């Protein structure tokens, strides 16, 4: 089954404790992206990657890091989480085919609470 | 820059009522337009899309027409069901693959 998986689904942590949210897709997609969803703000892009070893900042990259060492994986790293990073996080992937390109497939989400 | 504006919710309807959720956009050139749906506790799923002016996207009884003259992509359904209760996001893609989302509109359908 074609899918995007994220782990963990739920996480409660404390300020300053480094954490990683994993994202994996089994569709051989070139493009992957991280979003955060906050009430009244919709989805905002954090980082994206057009292919292995190619990453770029989205609209709200501060406080986050990503890496793309393998095509299927795109982990999101919070080196020193703060309460304002409490949010619902989504990973997505798509074929990178330029204008009019492929549908983005979303993972189920990770609900993060930073105390 | 690119932006998407959706009507604020929640939109509350009775079953079998007609649905319209307004969406307008700002973008240079010719973006592709999308509607995504998010059911409670789930991720986003693509509902429909249109890639050029006057295209009509449709799926599961939902429709939206890409109107370049009014920069709009309003979502419509003739008869909603309780199972349509969800949050609906309008989005545009301009360039490679990055999506710009609206803030989402919650739809609540009562029996």
**Cβ contact, residue pair A106, B45, below 8 Å:** yes
Residues of B in contact with A41 (CB under 8 A): 103
Interface of B with A (CB under 8 A): 30, 32, 36, 42-46, 49, 51-52, 89, 93, 95-99, 101-104
CB contact under 8 A, A33 and B97: yes
B17, pLDDT greater than 60: yes
Helix, coil or strand: residue A25: strand
User: pLDDT tens across A26-85, in order?
Assistant: 999 999 999 999 988 889 999 999 899 999 999 899 999 999 999 999 999 999 999 999
HEC states along B50-105? ECCCCCEEEECCEEEECECCCCECCEEECCCCHHHCEEEEEEEECCCCCEEECCCE
Binned at pLDDT 50, 70 and 90, residue A2 comes out as confident
Question: What is the tens place of the pLDDT at every residue in B28-78?
Answer: 888 889 999 999 888 899 999 998 899 999 999 999 999 999 999 999 999
Do residues A89 and B23 touch, judged by C-beta distance below 8 A? Answer: no
């Amino acid at each position: 089954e074609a899918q995007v998986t994220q782990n963990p689904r739920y996480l409660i942590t404390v300020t300053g404790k480094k954490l990683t949210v994993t994202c994996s897709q089994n569709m051989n997609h070139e493009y992957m992206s991280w979003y955060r969803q906050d009430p009244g703000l919709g989805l905002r892009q954090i980082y994206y990657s057009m292919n292995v070893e190619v990453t770029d900042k989205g609209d709200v990259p501060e406080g986050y890091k990503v890496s793309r060492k393998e095509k299927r994986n795109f982990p999101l790293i919070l080196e020193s989480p703060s309460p304002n990073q409490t949010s619902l996080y989504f990973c997505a992937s798509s074929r990178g085919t330029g204008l009019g390109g492929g549908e983005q497939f979303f993972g189920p989400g990770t609900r993060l609470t930073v105390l | 820059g690119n932006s998407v504006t959706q009507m604020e919710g929640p939109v509350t309807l009775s079953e079998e009522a007609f649905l319209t959720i307004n969406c307008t956009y700002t973008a240079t050139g010719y973006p592709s337009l999308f509607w995504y749906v998010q059911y409670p506790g789930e991720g986003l799923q693509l509902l429909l899309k249109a890639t050029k002016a006057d295209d009509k996207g449709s799926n599961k009884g939902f429709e939206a027409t890409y109107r370049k003259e009014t920069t709009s992509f309003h979502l419509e359904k003739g008869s909603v069901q309780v199972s349509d209760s969800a949050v609906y996001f309008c989005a545009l893609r301009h360039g490679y693959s990055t999506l710009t989302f609206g803030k989402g509109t919650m739809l609540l359908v009562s029996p």
